[in-house]
Amino acid sequence: MVGPFFKREGEVWEIEGRRKEEEEKKKKKKKKKKKKKKKKKKKKKKKKKKLEASNNTIFEIYARDRRPRVATPSGYRLLGMNFN
């Protein structure tokens, strides 16, 4: 007896034809989908705080800025006092 997936001379069994169609469908499905590239988020630049010259002492201005700093000649220049 001939199995359902074998050919006889000049004859092709229906089951074999269906099997080929199923294989073709699988090949079509197996095509890989292209992955979408994620957009990189742009980093926001931090704005530098400008120290305004005022009657306050240098140390109060630095304390308001909340960053540890040293009173340097450039700091004095911001207040409009030049020692050079």
* Max Cα-Cα span within the chain: 112
41-78 residue pLDDT tens? 888 877 766 655 555 455 554 555 555 455 555 555 55
CA–CA dist 77, 83 (Å, integer): 8
* Exposure b/e, 32-52, CB count within 10 A at least 16 = b: eeeeeeeeeeeeeeeeeeeee
Q: What percent of the chain has pLDDT over 90?
A: 0
Q: Is the CB of residue 2 less than 8 Å from the CB of residue 16?
A: no
CA-CA distance, 83 to 38, in Å (whole number)?
54
Task: Give the pLDDT confidence score for residue 20 in this predicted structure.
Answer: 72
> What's the pLDDT score for residue 33?
75
Give pTM, 2 decimals. 0.19
